Amino acid sequence: MGLFRPSFDASPYTRTGSHLTELAFPLGGIGTGCVSLDGRGGLKDWEIFGRPNKGSWLNYTFPALWVLEDGGEPKAVTVQGPRLRDWAGEVTDFWSYGHGRFFRQMDGLPGFEAVRFTGTFPVARLEFEKAGFPLQVELSALNPFIPQDVRSSSFPAASLTYKLTNRGDKTVEACLAWSIENPVGYGEADAKKDQAVNEAFGENGLTGIRFTNARYEEGDVRGGEVVLATDWSDVETLDRWSEEGWWDSVRAFWNRFRQDGGLAQHDGKPSGARMPGTVACRVRLAPGESAEIPFVISWRFPTAKKTLADEGPTWTAHYATEWPSATAAAAELLSRRQELTDRTLAFEEALYGGSLGAEVLESVGATLSTLHSPTLIRIEDGSFWAWEGCSPQEGCCDGTCSHVWNYALAHVYLFPEIQRSFLDSAFANGFNCGPLGKEGAMRFRIPLPMAQETPLWHAASDGQLGQIVQAYREWRLTGDEEWLRRTWPALKQAMAFAWVQWDRDQDGLVDGDMHNTYDINFEGPNPLTQFFYLAALRAMAVMADHLADPVAARYSELEKAGAKLTMERLWNGEFFIQLGDFTAPESPRYQHGPGCLSDQLFGQLSAGIAGLGHLVDSQMVRAALASMYRLNFRAPLGEHENLQRIYAFGDEAGLLLCTWPEGGMPFYPFVYSDEVWTGIEYQVATHLALEGMEDEARAILKGIRQRYDGVRRNPWNEFECGSHYARALASYGMILALTGMRYDAVDGVLAFRQEPFRSFWSVPGAWGVAERHPDGRLDVRVIEGHLPSPFAS
């Protein structure tokens, strides 16, 4: 393991040149928001204020390096690579497009000629290149990310460690400085009202600047603090730059810094303007000597609400209850740096050092960054709550949407505390929706505060039935008997609603009006709802039998009858279809009819991952999967006609949500049917791999990675209805599929496939590496935690 040199082959994850264009690597913690490291080594997308904030940057916020080689002339550069886009300027304000490259991002200063960016989330490593420069400059950016340890993975901070190496034959003096504009009050109108304060401090081995703004009273969602700090011994601070007209402030700073690495101290009383402050670290390096200089940017914005314009309730961010100040967070992060870095690197090595293939490992690792994005929120009492994704300035689609988070798997295995919170809030608060709730309908969006009563027009069939399957999976993964007994009444209530709206004649085949993840209602028998119905019935039967509840027989009877009807009525010889003709303009809108739906077997996949087995004939399942790949995967998309949102097009490959190979396309097909969603691509690829079609699964993942290549899209932001979309966390299913991992805490089983592999694994309470050797031997190494029950392999 190494902070700057990983022990595994990281070349598949290294980008240069144009592949740096769209990079934005999130740095933050679980439920804290983040700031992103761009492809040239700067910071952008300051999403630390309790909301998304895409496209944001701070004036005069940059790293700079001064060097003096013995006998030479001083040099000063920004520690950033060349600009790759927006040469004419961004379209932001008066001093933007048409005024040249935006000067406040310091593009007019000398920098480095090239950058090599190796991104293996949660670690980014950058190598800066400049001919004739006396130092080799590297950056390692990370935040602790340790499976099964939510708190240690939730620091509201970005950790930036620079390695300076003297590669010449003369001693070099250097000064590495970070400058940040006071962020508190970013984006607010009437800057003249600001009462910004930049306070230099030095305490307990920590030196830095604390940024606040007295304009905002306690409890104001815009109020908070940011800290720039280091524990380097030879350090100088400039609390705020001088306040001058025109470009005189930055000129005063740069004139002094380029001279000898010093900081130009200001005169006069601060006006309250949001000025930059600087922390500078000095070092003297003999030939061949290196130094690793750490910086931490931490934040604390304790009060939040859904949007700045929202008149609704506020909440306190949980991280603000863990750390009483941004300084406290920075101090703990730096004091525990070695431990937290070692544990994070151990996870990185376990994941990316596996044998599952780069397209698999990057898909899993890159989407984990969603957990560090504003998509996921943790409120004061420790409960988790989430958006579906992030619009540029606010969350998109609230309430931990059941039919979207239904797909997500990574948090279930790496941070089960999150999944338990989601399920507890759903079954405790989901029925608070009026008359339908009393009949068993569950809200598919949980409001804040969670317990409040809200009206419900329809329940989400895939989401509600999926949560029953998730509850079964939760019981098997944790072995928590008390939790199962406590949740059982709510599970029975949720299951009973199927007979109110989705299977009214109780014959085992859905026949009602079924709201679903496409934001519309399928009418009549359809495979998406039907397979979730069968999976939920089987899960309920097993749990009821375990609890000696006589209703088990009823669940089992219905499931068997439903499986028979599914095979008899929905199977067309190639795949499963929705019954009905919807081709006439006056037909019910937004159906799929005889189309090949990529989600048709999602309920079967969920059952398989939960350990419930095949719900219908296994040969039908394999044939339907083969049809999905053959009919819906296009490489390239080429002549495909998409009248809806564009996530893949032209020469790119992608899996379409639905196709109609034999005709019968509804006049108004279901919403989004033209589109390509990575979350659905991942669930189909996982299912293909589970059923032995590994090449097809990999082809789908390679198509995704080629789209998110850094040239066209950011690898660490897979979007759908907004950035950092939760559905993409389905990618973790590929680890389960390609390792054959099956863990059951109830029966005490941990099993893996017989074919050779090496892979990361994680279950509630433990994680590590498993390897099946060519001679059949299985090694299961626990890196952290312990397995709570005996296991067999």
Q: Is the pLDDT of residue 309 over 80?
A: no
In a domain, 205, yes or no: yes
Q: What is the mean pLDDT of residues 491-507?
A: 98
Q: What is the mean pLDDT of residues 134-145?
A: 98
Q: What is the mean pLDDT of residues 321-343?
A: 98
For residue 768, what are the β-bridge partners? 761, 782
How many domains in the chain?
3
Q: Do residues 705 and 784 share a domain?
A: no
User: E-assigned strands of 556-624?
Assistant: 596-597
Domain termination site, one of 739, 762, 784: 739
CA angle 281-154-126, nearest 5°? 45
In a domain, 1, yes or no: no
DSSP class per residue in 423-470 = HHHHHHHTT-STHHHHTT---SS--SSTTS----S--BHHHHHHHHHH
Cα separation of 465 and 535, whole Å? 8
Cα separation of 782 and 788, whole Å? 12
What is residue 101's predicted lDDT score, i.e. its pLDDT? 65
What is residue 313's predicted lDDT score, i.e. its pLDDT? 85
Task: Assess contact for 520 and 670: CB atoms under 8 A.
Answer: yes
What is residue 90's predicted lDDT score, i.e. its pLDDT? 72
Cα separation of 493 and 502, whole Å? 14
Q: What is the mean pLDDT of residues 235-243?
A: 96
In a domain, 5, yes or no: no
- Using only the alpha carbons of the chain, give its radius of gyration: 27
Cα separation of 117 and 126, whole Å? 5
Q: Is the pLDDT of residue 609 over 90?
A: yes
Reference 180, options 196, 162, 204, 202; nearest CA is 196
Q: How far is CA 556 from CA 95, 468, 507, 560, in A?
A: 68, 15, 12, 6
User: E-assigned strands of 151-305?
Assistant: 157-166, 172-181, 196-203, 206-213, 225-230, 235-238, 276-285, 290-300, 303-304
Q: How far is CA 432 from CA 381, 428, 429, 451, 493, in A?
A: 20, 9, 6, 7, 13
102's tokens = 């935006």
Residue 515's φ and ψ, nearest 5 degrees, are -70, 150
Q: Do residues 585 and 624 share a domain?
A: yes
What is residue 793's predicted lDDT score, i.e. its pLDDT? 45
What is residue 86's predicted lDDT score, i.e. its pLDDT? 79
What confidence category does residue 277 fall into, taking pLDDT thresholds of 50, 70 and 90? very high
Q: What is the mean pLDDT of residues 511-522?
A: 97
Cα separation of 632 and 737, whole Å? 21
Task: Assess contact for 238 and 277: CB atoms under 8 A.
Answer: yes
765: alpha, beta or left? (left if phi > 0; alpha if psi -120 to 50): left
Cα separation of 407 and 666, whole Å? 26
Which CATH number goes with the domain that contains 572? Answer: 1.50.10.10
Q: Do residues 126 and 184 share a domain?
A: yes
**Residue 290 identity:** S
Q: In what order do the strands lie in the sheet with 62-69?
A: 75-78, 62-69, 172-181, 276-285, 235-238
* 636: preceding bond cis by omega (within 30 degrees): yes
In a domain, 581, yes or no: yes
Q: What is the mean pLDDT of residues 266-287?
A: 92
Q: Do residues 518 and 590 share a domain?
A: yes
Q: Is the pLDDT of residue 790 over 80?
A: no
Q: Is the pLDDT of residue 321 over 70?
A: yes
Q: Do residues 253 and 293 share a domain?
A: yes
In a domain, 427, yes or no: yes
Q: Do residues 749 and 734 share a domain?
A: no
Q: Do residues 327 and 368 share a domain?
A: no
In a domain, 576, yes or no: yes
In a domain, 490, yes or no: yes
Q: What is the mean pLDDT of residues 554-578?
A: 99
What is residue 477's predicted lDDT score, i.e. its pLDDT? 98
- Which H or E element spans position 481? helix 481-496
pLDDT tens digits, residue range 365-416?
Answer: 999 999 999 999 999 999 999 999 999 999 999 999 999 999 999 999 999 9
Cα separation of 535 and 79, whole Å? 54
Look at residue 782 and give its three-state secondary structure.
strand
What is residue 192's predicted lDDT score, i.e. its pLDDT? 86
Q: What is the domain range of residue 766?
A: 740-793
pLDDT tens digits, residue range 192-225?
Answer: 899 999 999 999 899 999 999 999 999 999 999 9
Cα separation of 160 and 142, whole Å? 7
In a domain, 3, yes or no: no
Q: Do residues 188 and 39 share a domain?
A: yes
Task: Assess contact for 425 and 758: CB atoms under 8 A.
Answer: no
Task: Assess contact for 555 and 541: CB atoms under 8 A.
Answer: yes
What is residue 245's predicted lDDT score, i.e. its pLDDT? 87
Look at residue 116 and give its three-state secondary structure.
strand
Residue 645: other Cβ atoms inside 10 A: 13
Residue 686's φ and ψ, nearest 5 degrees, are -60, -45
Q: Do residues 429 and 315 share a domain?
A: no
What is residue 306's predicted lDDT score, i.e. its pLDDT? 83
Task: Assess contact for 135 and 40: CB atoms under 8 A.
Answer: no
Reference 427, options 377, 387, 506, 484; nearest CA is 484
Q: How far is CA 781 from CA 413, 571, 772, 786, in A?
A: 16, 44, 12, 10
Q: Do residues 463 and 505 share a domain?
A: yes
Please classify residue 664 by burial: count the beta carbons closer than 10 Å to its beta carbon, then call 0-12 exposed, 13-18 middle and 19+ buried. middle
Q: What counts of helices (H) and strands (E) characterise the chain?
A: 18, 34
Q: What is the mean pLDDT of residues 467-489?
A: 99
Reference 103, options 247, 207, 222; nearest CA is 247
Domain termination site, one of 346, 366, 399: 346
Task: Assess contact for 92 and 44: CB atoms under 8 A.
Answer: no
What is residue 97's predicted lDDT score, i.e. its pLDDT? 77
Cα separation of 361 and 357, whole Å? 6
Give the single-character DSSP code of 588. Answer: P
Q: Which residue has the higher pLDDT, 266 or 336?
A: 336
721's tokens = 């209805």
Q: What is the average pLDDT value for the chain, to the nearest integer?
A: 96
Q: Is the dihedral of CA 74, 76, 81, 83 positive or negative?
A: negative
pLDDT tens digits, residue range 93-139?
Answer: 676 778 776 678 889 999 999 999 999 999 999 999 999 999 999 99
> Counting every residue, how long is the chain?
793
Q: Do residues 328 and 419 share a domain?
A: no
What is residue 471's predicted lDDT score, i.e. its pLDDT? 99
Give the single-character DSSP code of 591. Answer: B
Q: Is the pLDDT of residue 667 over 90?
A: yes
Cα separation of 410 and 194, whole Å? 42
Q: Do residues 429 and 300 share a domain?
A: no
Which CATH number goes with the domain that contains 189? Answer: 2.70.98.40
* 6: preceding bond cis by omega (within 30 degrees): no
Domain termination site, one of 739, 758, 778: 739
Cα separation of 500 and 478, whole Å? 31
